[in-house]
Amino acid sequence: MSLKSTSYFLGLFCFPVSILAFMNILYSSYFDYFLSIESYFTTLIVSLFSGIGLVYYGKDSSKKINFINQLILIISVYILIGFFFSIPFYLSNNQVTFLNSFFESISGLTGTGFSTFKNIKYLDPTLILWRSTSQWIGGLYFLFFLIVIFSNKKFNYKMVLLTHSGDSGYSSKENIKNNIFKIFIYYCILSFGIFLLFNISDIRLFNSLNISMTLISSGGFLPTNLLGNIITTNFQKIIFIASLLVSMFNFYLIFNIFNKKILIREHKEDLYLLFLSIILIFLVYLNSNSGFDLIISIVSSLSNSGLSLIKSDNLSLYFLFITIIGGSLISNTSGIKLARFYILLKISSSEILKLISPNSIINKTIFASDNKITDDNVQISFLIFISFFLSLFILSSLLILDNIGFEKSFKLSILTLTNTVNSELFNMENLNFTNLLTSSKISLIIFMIIGKIELISIFLIFKQIIFKD
């Protein structure tokens, strides 16, 4: 393992936390929230000096690390940045244990939305903002990972090469810097656009800011206890649905929306996702009459957000299994992903067709595009299915020891692996994470990260450690 090179890049990921902590200090000073301002000073100092120390330690390294070390870097980012974000929770006046603080921060960074706080309205506004910020930076970091690291052609288990990923030339150091800069700019523009739309729809400024950071990252944290306290009018619901679609579709879709040539050729995955959303809405609408509230539930499940305006009793399992599908390959969503379902279904139908008509010509393109489905794509898709259900079995087995019941253990495991909040949509809103055993919280922390980067990455790391030359 290239320790110096890894520490150098790990140090770079520390500095944005320092900036966010400084912004929270300014916010606290401006609105006279001095009760917890010292915790943000502590976070600023710790993250800044940690970043400086790590960068200094690795400044003379080659700055080139292989894919396995990049995976180790990603896991290290979640753990270290999670520690930084846990500091304000731990030092607040809410008497939060360190484990609960770390649980809250990892839940934010992975966009899951599990929370140990039961009454959000009693929290310091700066702490509410800090929770939302953890989602926002976590979503940004994950897009960096997708475009720069998971685009590796040798270990293409994220399959981002099968869909549009902007400028795919990452061979040089300059290209990597340019793409990271583009992602950052696009992400900020989308966040600001969502914030602006909510703000002009008569949602108060503070709630608009928090909910925009939640939706852009497919997160689950809210600035209030219930979404219905914020979203009330049809116009606000339409904006909410559009914001969920932004996080569910390909990250680059919004910037190619006026480029007809690229839109038709490269974004067919998003078209299939849209068709699937319409079909799912139609199927549920036959037995319901909830209007926009129903659409929010469907899109929220597909985008792995889980936020909803309705309580679903009879359809909770239906919505739960929708979360497994996930969104675009290049998005902040989790789950197995529609493209992998598509690959396995198409190859399975092709094999059946071969048995019926051996001389038939099989079309192996994905989403009727120019990209061919290779044997590696099929093997990886199958392996992802296996690893997902293996993770589901392991986590459910661990959680059931906590005496929360089989049904809740099963549901919570799916929500953890798809990084989806435990809302009333799944009849899980009453689950108290504070009362869970320490072993359960640690298991959830581990599998929230695994749900984001997928279990296959852990297998690759173990394989490298065991069979290294």
pLDDT band of 205, cuts 50, 70, 90: very high
- String of b and e for 280-319 (b: at least 16 CB within 10 Å)? beeebeeebeeebebbbbbbbbbbbbbbbbbebeebbebb
Other Cβ atoms less than 10 A from the Cβ of 203: the count is: 22
Cα 359 from chain centroid (whole Å) = 44
Tell me the DSSP string of 433-469: GGGS-HHHHHHHHHHHHHHHH-HHHHHHHHHHHHH--
pLDDT by residue (tens digit) across 149-178? Answer: 888 777 888 988 888 877 654 455 556 778
pLDDT by residue (tens digit) across 87-135? Answer: 999 998 888 999 999 999 999 999 999 999 988 988 889 999 999 999 9
Angle at alpha carbon of residue 351, lines to 354 and 325, rounded to 5°: 150
Rounded CA separation 91/107 (Å) = 18
What lies within 8 Å, CB to CB, of 110 at 6+ separation is: 78, 138, 419, 448, 449, 451, 452
Residue 332 scores a pLDDT above 80: yes
Compute the average pLDDT of residues 221-235: 92
Compute the average pLDDT of residues 410-429: 93
User: Nearest to residue 350, comparing CAs of 329, 376, 378?
Assistant: 378
Question: Where do the H-state alpha helices sit in 13-97?
Answer: 15-30, 37-58, 67-91
Residue with tokens 């936390």: 17
Greatest mean pLDDT among 216-225, 251-260, 460-469 lies in 216-225
Q: Residue 380 is inside which H or E element, if any?
A: helix 375-399
Residue 224 scores a pLDDT above 70: yes
Rounded CA separation 447/20 (Å) = 26
Q: Residue 281 is inside which H or E element, if any?
A: helix 268-285
Rounded CA separation 443/396 (Å) = 10
Angle at alpha carbon of residue 405, lines to 131 and 109, rounded to 5°: 20
Residue 427 scores a pLDDT above 60: yes
Residue 170's pLDDT is 47
Residue 134's pLDDT is 96
Rounded CA separation 467/29 (Å) = 54
pLDDT band of 311, cuts 50, 70, 90: confident
Rounded CA separation 381/378 (Å) = 5
Rounded CA separation 259/108 (Å) = 34
Sign of CA dihedral 236, 210, 187, 294: negative
